[in-house]
Structure 1
Amino acid sequence: MVFVDGQPLPLFAALFGYGLVQMAGRQASWPVARWVVVKRCFWMIVLGGLHAYFLFEADILGTYGVLGLILVSTMVWRDQSLLALAAGWMVVHLGYILLSSFGIIRVDGVLPEGIATWALHTVVWPAAVLVPMVLGMWAARHRMLTEPERHVRFLRNTALAGIGFMILGCLPLALKVAQVVDTVPRPLAVLHTISLLPGGLGYAALMGWISARVKKPNLLMVAVAATGERSLTCYVLQSVSWTVLFAYGGLGYEIGVAQASLIGILTWLTTVLLALGMHLAGIRGPLEVLLRFLTYGRRKKTRPAARPQPVPVLTGQSR
């Protein structure tokens, strides 16, 4: 509840925004870059719909795809405009959290089931992750994670402040879930939701801070990196695992939170080992290969650069 619950959503949104700018920066011009981003986001929505229909209705691929289509034009905004967008939407989103938490806005019973649930999530969830995605786009312009040695102080301060705020904000509700306390005042419970954004950004900054200080990655780091390079494949494999274990394996609702968490950890470790084996064997993730083919076609249109140089319109100085 303190270190995991909810934090991956803003974390992955920030990394997705970062990755889009990297991908666009490899293209020869802004029109080409925009078209590449649009195609990738479109196919993410399609794959997310298939994932939701066959495996997991609370899919997140469609959310990021929709948000990418919405924000593609902002990739050529100036830094100040991007940060102003993030700040303005943060105020709107915090207002919604407070109003809904105190019962002024109610959404209970609105969501239908099945694929319709995914469709509504795909429209609603982008509002919750727009800020971290925009901040990820801003960070990519300054190569904060690809050249972390240039931003050590900023990454360190962001990691300490973000994760520290997350711990303080998530601890009250975690104590209630763990049955250490009977009740938690509503304002403290609301802090759990508010703390997700700084926590997710803090985790991203922590990884950058670590990578800036590590000269030679160990086997664990290589395995985690290999998983990240095959994140789409591993994400869907986890859904396959849930379907097999819970829908067809007879577990259903018969286990508690602790047992379910253990299954989640073991499933993740399995994907890490699988990704490491594929890395050592030189095998790319099949879904990554598919998405790349759908985006670029048969011809490779990117320049093979370890540290891509963004096209001028993506540097934050154009508008």
Structure 2
Amino acid sequence: MSAEAISRRAFAGGIAALALARRAGAQGYAGLSETADGFAKVTPGKTFTFPADHGPHPEFRIEWWYLTANLVDASGAPCGLQWTLFRQAAQPGPQGEGWANQQVWMAHAAVTRADTHRFSETFSRGGVGQAGVTAKPFDAWIDHWEMKGRERPDDRTLAPLTLKAAGADFSYALTLEADRPVVLQGDRGYSRKSERGQASYYYSQPFYRARGTLSIDDKPAAVSGQAWMDREWSSQPLDADQTGWDWLSLHLSSGDKLMLYRLRQNDGRNYPFGNWISTAGEKQMIAGSDIQMMPKAMAEVAGRKLPVQWQIAIPARSFSILCKPLNPNAWMGTGFSYWEGPISFAGTHDGVGYLELTGY
């Protein structure tokens, strides 16, 4: 922590910013549609620059570094993990120093097996060394949770990395390798979220190979598998009539990758979008009119009904699969509560992936 003197006013400002973050969590995902006057706007035509864009963009209101991993232990039993660091600006304008800094950091970590789901959440302030991200050398951290570049990571691939986090009853430590560059989602990184212009800047690294140790109740297990990281930043990612999203990242057994989401609207309509990513890292956008996402089975979790099984079809690609969760109780009971867990799928294609359900 910074050794500078902390005034009463600066300390009070820090507590107020944390309270703002928690209040935003209580508002749910509808809060992401609030107007963002004074913050930077997402517009088409951005030229992405690495490593700079691996780092933070404090002129935008919200941002995240989001990793999920589909793993197996030595016996072949499947499991999954999540590591997410969120940045939210409490107000626009020049960045304050020390405890006057307006950036609030929040992180989620989780592990999931068929028989259990564990998660943890932590908050920190910007400006005092408790949390942050540096682009080069790459390092994203909050307290002792960290995603860190190892052995001079390649700016194009954002690899190799080490990853670690721990909750009261779980922990994990992984190494992540990738040999293909990150993939710009949407239209060259401009990811449109509504017909009214809401959008984010969005890229992914879907080609991580993961290896390490996962421990539950102090029982460590060697694990390996595939991981996917999403990077997004925006100032108003949802429109006022949008309540949440259903999002999937899929690792096909062929080596191809598929990202799909649909944003739900109050009138019952949806705004779907997808990207098909080849084994070589080449992508092809999938129009919403070509995507069929149909809930097939519900589970009652945390007092609400959630669509945890999905039939997904893309007729133009002769693609039709049924997705099933490893554990239907993968509820993240955090400030921003949501469902997030590993899935498997079969049909015309098979593989594993992750499903996220927000706003329910």
Give the structure-1-normalised TM-score: 0.27
| More relative contact order, 1 or 2 (CA 8 Å, 6+ apart) | 1
Larger strand percent = 2
TM-score computed with the length of structure 2 as normaliser: 0.25
